[in-house]
Amino acid sequence: MSTETLAAPQAGAAARGRRSRMTASRRAKYLATAIAAVVAVGWSLPLVWTLIGSFNAERLTSGAGFVPSQLTAENWTKLVQPDGRAVNVFVAFFNSTVVAVCATVLALVVCSMMAYALARLPFRGSALVLSVIVLAMLIPTEVILVPLFQQFAALGLLNTYGALIIPHVVSLFGVVLLRQFIANLPVELTEAARIDGANAWQNYRYIVLPLIRPGLATLGILVFLAAWNDFLWPLIATSTPSMQTLPLALITFRSAYGDNEYGVVMASTILAIAPPLLVFLFAQRFIVAGISNTGLKG
């Protein structure tokens, strides 16, 4: 029996094995996609129901069906004209937007500079500073609320945008995150720029920042969400309705309308979750890139 005769059945068996493995891989992929689609639909149903309920003309939506019998925009107009029972939600929306955007921009600048100094400008005690930063991340925020309140009271910054923004500017996690990004960059890039005459600022501005954009985007999203959803610190630092952020305004709306008009509460809820949801959907790929590039995989 020739070698060609023996090789033919073996080649056919190998081809069938490859086709079988490919078919099994496709089936597993389709099954995973189907499961993910079911989970996504289940997760989005409460959000869709809340959106529909915000246009429900019935005062009580607890007994209404998924599709209301009559639609109205009255629930949304009460966000602007709350009949004296609650604060103006759009004022709170503006406050939350100012706080979240300013905190995000400042945090990106401050944290990236601190991370660059720890990763590329070695100084005596830099390792100790990094260790202290990591250990400080273990301290709960609630522990420092009283001294933080006393500091802002001494500075006369309570009930101002500064009091709401400054606590989010220095993110210890953001410093560690960006420091890891910068440490993973090839040292030869900054060394070559230094040989060509670039100083530390030019290295930071033109070499490092463009290369850590996924990390900056990840940190920006996290800081924006933290500042937007913060409830405890604005509750302590503000004392007038004109300075309230959206989470505080939602509590007022729930107590004012929650027992009688769920549609108004649902409209305020949609207004609150829409910006962070859009930000996350737009930039979720940066979060994935940031986690993969820093080795923070589970």
Going by the DSSP 8-state scheme, the letter that residue 208 receives in this structure is I
pLDDT 10s digits, 194-224: 888 888 889 999 889 988 988 898 899 889 9
Closest CA to 152 of 238, 214, 249: 238
Q: What percent of the chain has pLDDT over 90?
A: 29
Please, are residues 276 and 222 in contact by the beta-carbon 8 Å criterion?
A: no
Structure tokens at 84: 């004296």
- How far, in Å, CA of 208 to CA of 223, rounded? 21
Residue 221 to residues 227, 244, 249, 285, Cα–Cα distance (Å): 10, 22, 23, 11
- List the single range of 96-105, 120-129, 178-187, 216-225 with lowest mean pLDDT: 120-129
Report the pLDDT value the prediction gives residue 115, as an integer from 0 to 100.
93
Residue 141's pLDDT band (boundaries 50, 70, 90)?
A: confident
Q: Which tokens go with 86?
A: 């609650």
Q: Which three-class secondary structure state does DSSP give residue 71?
A: strand
Pair of tokens at residue 180? 């890891």
